[in-house]
Amino acid sequence: MAQLNLLVGDIKGNTERVIAAAQQAIVEHAADIIAFPELTLTSYSPEDLLLRPSLQTRIDKALQHLLSANLPVHMLIGYPLRENGRLYNAVSLIKGSTILATYRKQCLPNYQVFDERRYFSPGHEPCVVNIKGIAVAMTICEDMWEEEPTRQAAEAGASLLININASPFHRNKGAERAALLRTRAQQAGIPIVYVNLVGGQDELVFDGSSMAVNATGECLVQAPSFQEGLFPVHLEVLPGDAKRARLSVSAGESTAADSIDAGLYKALVLGVRDYVRKNGFKGVVLGLSGGIDSALTLVIAADALGADRVQAVMMPFTYTSQLSLDQARAQAERLGIHYSVIPINNAYRSFTTALENEFAGLSVDVAEQNIQARCRGVLLMAISNKKGVLVLTTGNKSEIAVGYCTLYGDMAGGFDVLKDVPKTVVYRLCEYRNAQADALSAPVIPRAVIDRPPSAELAPGQVDQDNLPPYDELDAILELYVEQDCSATDIIAKGYAEATVRRVLRLVDLNEYKRRQGPIGVRLTQRGFGRDRRYPITSGWELGD
């Protein structure tokens, strides 16, 4: 199982990765078959690169390069196949200089983050090939989530099914896959090898977690999550009837499944690492406020890139507490992060002085608070431009949902690490990270930061709960509305106060314009803001049923 981290659009580079991995599999594992992830050559998802006129020329050259390598191993290679004026999501079995068979994906997902019907036509036929006397079927990703392709493969005489994937991570995805494979293996009565992509691609993170189950659905081989590599699966031929041999998956090396919080944390680390690496940034910079969101973001960045590629900037103002100043410095020193302090008092005064005539006769309100945030955004973006580093923003999903963030202020940046992390989960992830071995003697996230009441510190004595419901209540309402599409009536019926529900839902709807202009971030739930949830900015939709 070639669980590789490939780069979207890098057809030449991905092809070289395939050849190198196949050679390694031959030398180190004496492999008979090596299976690569879905759309191996373009990686997933190429989106509208699939519409480029030169796509087929590049794919043809890549296939010819693979055939010219003349490798003595059966390779399952995914790629976009143009045939008779149609484009298919395909996988071919290649050995030596020959394409032995090709399968076209039948089930094209067109929900959540998937948009395959925009590009591909569906296939309709199973593909079963003989490999060393064994009848092997090939399918692709979504084909496993529907019953028909697996049933076709079994009826066509397959003794083994290999399913190649680009299945993105979200919370509890591993358990969902394991249950699905168990069901399909039992229905077909054959073992299944499931090979998945690993790596970050914009807001999506692919967790790998490739696995092999026997004919009863028992998982006997489990590759590590969020880790690139070649992971062997041994299949034994058992006595069978005259029509088809029977296979058994031999128990191999397996990795224990991640806890929910471990999976979320690993996804955030890999998402940051690959976004920075694949886009060529030298490192990252972020505003370290002394609050819990920036503290967690800082640790994730350090784990992803190393302390030497992370800069933290404290930008205090009149309302910044001594606790914030002390804890930000203490955390940066604990992690060995480059840390600097740039007060914004003078910048703020310059802006308010320039606006004196415009603001004359008007009382101080949120406009002045937003100027503070925007001063900080300007400073961070200037550092980004000058040093070639990426600005990480630190807003969490709860704040972004209800607009408790400043456009062109704390939303100014290139990547929002916590964009799909509700505030209650932020606290859980801090506790998870502090429980790791390297943090037991000296926490990487200061206890005082976790225990303090959350505050933007944009006004005297300000705390988040002045403007928002308690976070446990807010997050529960947001999950029902954003992730489960419950109506206001449904949520109120679950026992939440009508006034609170209507206020929260109205804030979510009103702040779509902010989210459209904010940076992308790692997707962790089944309904993140961005590719998943696409609502109009201008709308007359009324809250209710």
pLDDT per residue over 439-454, tens digit each?
889 999 999 999 988 7
Strand segments (E) across 215-304: 219-222, 229-230, 235-238, 246-249, 284-287
Catalytic residue status for 399: no
- Tell me, yes or no, whether 166 and 282 share the same domain: no
Examine the residue annotation and report whether 141 is marked as an active-site residue of this protein: yes
> H or E stretch including 428?
helix 423-434
Q: Which domain holds residue 318?
A: 261-464
Query: What's the number of domains the chain is made of?
Result: 2
| 476 within some domain | no
Q: Is residue 149 part of a domain?
A: yes
Cα–Cα distance between 331 and 339 in angstroms, integer?
Answer: 10
Cis peptide before 45 (omega within 30 of 0): yes
pLDDT at 224: 94
pLDDT at 243: 44
**Active-site residue identified among 38, 116, 203, 479:** 38
pLDDT at 457: 64
Residue that terminates a domain, selected from 258, 289, 313: 258
For the entire predicted model, the pTM comes to 0.94
DSSP states of 81-128: EEETTEEEEEEEEEEETEEEEEEE------STT--GGGT--------E
pLDDT value at position 82?
A: 96
Confidence (pLDDT) at 246: 63
Q: Where is the domain boundary, 236, 258, 280?
A: 258
Whether 310 and 363 map to the same domain: the answer is yes
Place of tokens 């090898």: 193
Please answer whether residues 458 and 369 qualify as being in contact, where contact means their C-beta atoms are separated by less than 8 angstroms. Answer: yes
Pairing of strands 134-140, 128-131: antiparallel
* pLDDT reported for residue 251: 65
Q: What are φ and ψ of residue 379, in 5° steps? A: -65, -45
Distance CA 504, CA 509 (A): 9
> Any idea what the CATH number is for the domain that residue 224 is in?
3.60.110.10
Residue 280 lies in a domain: yes
Indicate if 321 and 239 belong to the same structural domain.
no
Q: Could you give the CA distance from residue 111 to residue 217 in angstroms, rounded to a whole number?
A: 27
The reply to whether 220 and 285 lie within a common domain is no
pLDDT, averaged in runs of 10, over the chain (545 residues): 97 97 96 97 96 95 97 98 96 97 96 92 96 93 96 94 96 93 95 97 96 92 95 82 59 80 97 97 97 97 98 95 94 97 97 96 94 97 97 97 95 97 97 94 94 77 77 96 94 96 96 95 90 84 83
375 is catalytic: no
Of 476, 491, 462, 494, nearest in space to 422 by CA: 476
Residue 371 within any structural domain of the chain: yes
3-state secondary structure of 24: helix
Q: Which residues pair with 144 in a beta bridge?
A: none
Q: What is the pLDDT, as a whole number, of residue 377?
A: 97
- 365 Rama sector, left if φ>0, alpha if ψ -120 to 50, beta otherwise: beta
Per DSSP, the three-state class of 388 is coil
Dihedral in degrees, nearest 10, Cα atoms 40, 144, 146, 84:
30
Whole-number pLDDT of residue 242: 41
Tokens 């399952």 locate to 76
CATH of the domain at 365: 3.40.50.620
- Tokens in use for 482? 């954003």
179 Cβ contact partners less than 8 Å away, ≥ 6 residues apart: none
pLDDT tens for 83-98 read: 999 999 999 999 999 9
Catalytic residue selected from 141, 375, 430, 486? 141
Residue after which a domain boundary falls, among 229, 258, 287: 258
Q: Using an 8 Å Cβ cutoff, are 16 and 62 in contact?
A: no
**Residues 337, 206 share a domain:** no
Burial of 329 (C-beta count, 10 Å sphere; 0-12/13-18/19+): middle
